[in-house]
Amino acid sequence: MKRSILAMLTAFALLQLACYKDKGNYDYHPLAKPEISNLDTFYNVFLGDTLVIQPTIKSTDPSAKFGYHWRIDIPAEARSIDLTGSPLNFIFSLQPGVYGVRLTVTDSSNGMKYFQQFKIAGRTQFSVGTLVLSQEGNTSQLSFVKPDSTVLSRIYQALHGSDLPGEPLQVIDLIKQFISPVPQLGYWVTFNGSNDGGVHLNTSTLLEMKTLRKNFFDVPAIAKPGYLETSQDGVLRGVINGKLYIGSWQTYYGSDIYGYFGVPAAGDYELYKRMAFNGVMPYFLGYDKNRKQFVAFTNFGSPAYIGTGYQVTNVTAFDPRNVQLDLLHFQQLNDNNCFAFGRSGDGALYEIQFSAAFKGFIELSPGYKRAFAQPALITPNTKWTGTKKEIFYFTSGDKIYRYNPLNQEFRPLTTDFGGKEVSMIKLADDENTLIAGVEGTIYFLDISTGKTGEILKRYTGIPGTPVDVTVKK
């Protein structure tokens, strides 16, 4: 027992001695962080040009010695380009698009690394501007309007040496959301004057990549498009040959087959050209133009046709399973309320409204079916569009009307189109701008709060009558 106590006392004495003799300096001296400047967050460079970036680095540490490493990420090719030294001299020869870059600054005096992130955008003359689809005689024409308002007319013809078929329908910019940098997936141009009703164009060169028929895994004999749109995955969805198709999105967006169509949602139906694609709920709505009834599709990864297998809260206003109208326009405005305009067998024009919800099942709640208050304003060439605030704009000859279904107010916009028939309308800029077209001209109209269609700008020199536009910023 005495030996144990003696050992403990000896160990304690040695520990005290060790602590007494340890006179090390434990004061913390923070490293001088360098100041990196002359470096932007975004650079534009045209294809073939040299991008030169020379950052400035200042440090209060006289012994600091810095090295530079640049990594340019190319996600579409699953690789990166690594460069060293300063300044960065990079001849841009990649596919046009936006690329993320990381600069690593290493202080070799202490091994510390400092990081800066920025982006470079490789561009061509088609990277920023407005693409206009118009009808000129029996052909569809594409024109590109540069930011300085210069119009490159008949650009498809100039690049390919041939015209597109007539009866133009849409020009659609494929946008894949929630990806940064945003990938350039191309434009689709659709038309009715052919059994192969569309072409897929490269965003930056406007050169054709494939046709609509070639966008199927099994190429059909005919591909007649209705109204198509881009999904949040950057693939086409909508009505083709009267059936619902959605492009494949379950693979990498840089794949050659990304966006290809498989088989349509199976079922005995033939759809009106336009559908309602709910942005947040797992269902889609369409209109069977033969049975003249609304039909539904569930969407749990892939669409499944359920026809009229939805629930209806009441049929007092009308029965969505027995509408009996030939539709002129159908649109869901705010992921809830749906509106449709159509004619009955006797030619009378009606307006119907209903809400849609998903409660583990699809539920439709009819609101009203009523005679349209100003049927004389609707012509065979009337174009429609509606806002999330449930305000409609429609064309009538050389005028555009604002229509509020809530109080059935009709108000003509103030723009004078010189007696020319309005051939198109389209919402832009978060629904504060209405783009309108008449023969030879595109107008941008102010429809923000308190405005009645005052002209913001216009582009002239468009061949034929505009049908659709898309703006690339």
Q: What is the DSSP string of 341-382?
A: EEE-TTS-EEEEEEEEEESSSEEEEEEEEEE-S-GGG--TT-
Domain ranges in the chain are 35-123, 124-164+373-473
Q: Answer for the pair 103, 55: CB distance below 8 angstroms, yes or no.
A: yes
Q: Answer for the pair 303, 258: CB distance below 8 angstroms, yes or no.
A: no
**444-457 residue pLDDT tens:** 999 999 999 999 99
Q: What percent of the chain has pLDDT over 70?
A: 94
326: pLDDT strictly greater than 60: yes
Q: Which residues contact 95 (CB under 8 A, 6 or more apart)?
A: 76, 122, 184, 204
**167-224 residue pLDDT tens:** 999 999 999 988 877 788 999 999 998 999 999 999 988 999 999 999 999 999 999 9
Q: Given pLDDT bands bounded at 50, 70 and 90, which one contains residue 20?
A: very low
> Which element (helix H / strand E) includes 21?
helix 2-21
pLDDT at 16: 54
φ and ψ at 25, to 5 degrees? -95, 110
Q: pLDDT higher for 384 or 16?
A: 384
9: pLDDT strictly greater than 70: no
pLDDT at 221: 97
Q: Which of 48-57, 95-104, 395-404 is modeled with the greatest confidence?
A: 395-404
Distance separating alpha carbons of residues 142 and 468, to the nearest angstrom: 10
pLDDT at 27: 59
Distance separating alpha carbons of residues 85 and 276, to the nearest angstrom: 54
Residue 63 CA: distances (Å) to CA of 31, 33, 60, 104:
11, 13, 9, 19
**243-268 residue pLDDT tens:** 999 999 999 888 899 999 999 999 99
Fold of 35-123: Immunoglobulin-like (2.60.40)
Q: Given pLDDT bands bounded at 50, 70 and 90, which one contains residue 28?
A: low
Distance separating alpha carbons of residues 367 and 317, to the nearest angstrom: 6
pLDDT at 335: 82
Summary mean pLDDT of the chain: 91
pLDDT at 3: 52
> Which element (helix H / strand E) includes 192?
none
Q: Given pLDDT bands bounded at 50, 70 and 90, which one contains residue 239?
A: very high
Whether cis (ω within 30° of 0) applies to the bond prior to 282 is no
Compute the chain's Rg from CA coordinates. Answer: 31
Burial of 147-157, coded b for 16+ CB within 10 Å and e otherwise, reads: eeeebbbbbbb
113: pLDDT strictly greater than 50: yes
288: pLDDT strictly greater than 50: yes
pLDDT at 1: 47
13: pLDDT strictly greater than 60: no
Q: Which residues contact 56 (CB under 8 A, 6 or more apart)?
A: 36, 37, 38
17: pLDDT strictly greater than 70: no
pTM across the whole model? 0.81
**138-154 residue pLDDT tens:** 999 999 999 999 999 99
Q: pLDDT higher for 42 or 22?
A: 42
**Mean pLDDT of all residues in 33-42:** 89
2: pLDDT strictly greater than 50: no
392: pLDDT strictly greater than 80: yes
Q: What percent of the chain has pLDDT over 90?
A: 75
